[in-house]
Amino acid sequence: MTEYLKEKIKEALHKLDVDGIEPVLERPKEESHGDYSTNAAMLSAKKLKKNPREIAKNIIDNLQLDEKYISKIEIAGAGFINFFVSPGYYIEQAKDIINKRSEYGKLEINKGKSVNIEWVSVNPTGPMHAGHGRHIALGKAVANLLKWSGYTITKEYYYNDAGKQMENLAKSVYARYRQMFEPDYPFPETGYVGEYIIEIAKIIKDEYGDKLLNSENDFLVFKTAGENWCFKSIRNTLRVMGIEHDKFFSERSLYDDGKIEKLLSDFKQRNLSYEKDGAVWLKTSELMKDKKDAEDKVIVKSTGEPTYRLPDMAYHIDKLNRGYDAIIDVFGADHGDTYKEVLAGVAALGYDASKIRVIIHQMVTFMQEGKPVKMSKRSDNVYYLDDLIEDVGADVAQFFFVMRSANTHLDFDIALAKEQSDKNPVFYLQYAHARISGILRNAKEVFGDYSKDVMNANTSLLKNEDEVGLAKILTVFTDVVRNAVETYEPHKIITYLNEVAEAYHRFYHNNRVINAEDKELSYARLVLCEAAKVVLKNGFDIIGISAPERM
C-alpha cells in the first residue's frame, strides 16, 4: 500500500508540475488520523508558492485511487493528507500473505547488489564472553535484514593474529605449560588466567612432553595451539547461535601479502604521512578538517609496531577492491570515534569510503540478583557466552540482545531471560506462534484437510474490529521490513511483532475461531490465523529465532 500511494501521489504532483519530490508516508500514531499520512503538500509549498492546505486539496483533486483500496481522504493540520484504507482491502490481503508464505515481506530494493558484512571479529585469545553476545546477535539480525532486501551477502570475520594480544596468549600458554614442570615459574602480568589456558597447555604437554621447556624465545607452537583452540571454541559458540561465516580474514595476511607496506608507501607518496619521534604519523587533522578536535595519529610506533589503524585501513581497501556494492561493519561503542579516522585514511587514497556503513552498538550490562556480572578474559570471574546460552537458551539470548535499539545501553536481566512464561518477551511471541499452530491442528481434526477450502473462504464475513485490526497489522509487515532495512535496525521487527501478537491474542479471545456449526465463518477466520502464523514466522527468521509449533 505504501508504494501504491507513493506512486499515485507522484502522479498527482506531476499534474501540478511538481516533479522530483519523494513523498513521505507514515503510519499515524492516532487511529483517528487514518492509516497513512503524507507531507507531500508541505514539500511542494516552496515550488508552488501556495498554502500547503490549498496544495493538499489540489493533490487530492488529482489523485486517481481505487475506491476498494481507499475509503476516505482528509486534510489535517498544516497540510497533511490522511488516507483511510478500506477494511476490505486489509482482509483481502490475508490470502495474499498465505500464498506468498516465506516470501512475504521480502524486498527487491537491493536485488542484483552484493554486500559484505563483517562482524564478531573477536580476537582468538579465549572463549567469547557474554558481552560479545550483543555484537554477535545484532550482526546476525542485520545480515538477515540485508538478505531480505535482496542483497547477495558475504558474511566475514576479521581476526587479529598479528598483535600484542596474540603474543600475550602465547606467553600465557607457555607459562602454564612450564608450570606443569616448574610450579614456581612466573606467570606474565598481562597474561590470560582463565582455565582454558591450562587446558591448552595440557594439550601441548600431551603431544610434546617436556621437549618445549626451552622455547622461551620461540612461542610459535604455543601461539598456534592457543589460536586453534580459541577459534574452535568461538566457531562452536557461533554455530549454536546459528551463525556460519563465509570468510575468515587474517590480519597477518595483510603483512604477508605486502599490503601494509604498500599502504605506507602510498601515504608517503601522497604526502599524507610524516616521521616524528621515530614514529610514522598520518595527517589525520588534514583529512578530517570538518572535525575541530581532529589530531594527527600514529600509524607506526617508534618500536616499528603498527597501530590498529594501519591494518584496518588496508583491510577496508582490500574489501573495496573486491567490488562489493556495500560494506557493513558492526562495531562496539569503543570504536565510536576511531573508525572515522580509518575511513578518512581510506578516502584520502581515492577509494569510495561512502560504500562503507558502520553500525555502532552500545555496551550491555548483565544483571544477576541485582548485581552486574563481570566479564574479563584476564580474570577468573568470567561469564562466558556459552554460559549465558546454557542458562537462557540461544533463542532467548538472540532476542534479548536485539530487542533494543543498538544506540542504547542494554541491561540484560538474566532472571527475566530464564522465565518460562509470557513475562519473558521471547516466550510471549513464540507462544503466539505455537497457539496458532495448535488451532490449525485442531481445525484439521474438525474439518479434515481444509487448506483448499480456506483459500476459497468468504473473507467478506470478517468485519468486526478484532478481525479487521489483525488483518490491518499483518498487511504492513513489508513496510516495517523496508524501514528496518533502510535504518539497519532489526529491533523494529520485534516492536512490530509485539503488535501482531497483541492483535492476535485479542482476536483469539474475543472470537470463536473453530465452530463446526458455522464452517464458512470458521474458514474465513482460519485465513487470519494462517496469515498471522506466516508473519510471525517470517519476522522470527529475520530476528534469528525459531518458530515453535508447540510450547
- Residues 172-190 have a mean pLDDT of 96
Is-above-0.75 flag for pTM?
A: yes
User: If DSSP states are collapsed to H, E and C, what string results for 388-422?
Assistant: HHHHHCHHHHHHHHHCCCCCCCEEEEHHHHHCCCC
- Residues 126-145 have a mean pLDDT of 95
What are the tens digits of pLDDT across the range 216-239? Answer: 888 999 999 999 999 999 999 999
Q: 351 falls in which pLDDT band (50, 70, 90)? A: very high
What are the tens digits of pLDDT across the range 52-98? Answer: 999 999 999 999 888 788 989 999 988 999 999 988 889 989 999 99
Contact, 119 vs 138, CB < 8 A? yes
pLDDT of 429 strictly over 90: yes
Domains identified in the chain and CATH numbers: 2-84 (3.30.1360.70), 91-105+422-543 (1.10.730.10), 114-161+242-361 (3.40.50.620), 164-240 (no CATH)
* CB crowding 58-94: b at 16 or more within 10 Å, else e: bbbeebebeeebbbeeebbeebbbbbbbbbbbbbbbb
Q: What is the pLDDT of residue 338?
A: 85
Contact, 126 vs 378, CB < 8 A? no
- Residues 398-417 have a mean pLDDT of 95
The C-alpha atoms of residue 415 and residue 398 are separated, in whole angstroms, by: 16
pLDDT of 294 strictly over 50: yes
* Percentage of the chain modeled with pLDDT above 90: 78
pLDDT of 24 strictly over 80: yes
Q: What is the pLDDT of residue 73?
A: 93
What are the tens digits of pLDDT across the range 504-548? Answer: 999 999 999 999 999 999 999 999 999 999 999 999 999 999 999
Q: 368 falls in which pLDDT band (50, 70, 90)? A: confident
Q: What is the pLDDT of residue 385?
A: 94
The C-alpha atoms of residue 507 and residue 469 are separated, in whole angstroms, by: 8
* Percentage of the chain modeled with pLDDT above 70: 99
Q: Which residue has the higher pLDDT, 372 or 330?
A: 330
Q: What is the pLDDT of residue 376?
A: 54
Phi-psi map region of 34: left, alpha, beta (phi>0 left; psi -120 to 50 alpha):
left
The C-alpha atoms of residue 132 and residue 146 are separated, in whole angstroms, by: 21
pLDDT of 491 strictly over 70: yes
Q: What is the pLDDT of residue 381?
A: 65
- Residues 352-369 have a mean pLDDT of 93
Q: What is the pLDDT of residue 377?
A: 47
Q: What is the pLDDT of residue 438?
A: 96
SS3 content of the chain, % helix, strand, coil (to 5): 55, 15, 35
What are the tens digits of pLDDT across the range 141-169? Answer: 999 999 999 999 999 999 988 778 899 99
Average pLDDT, the chain: 93
CA dihedral 310, 168, 209, 186 (to 10 degrees): 160
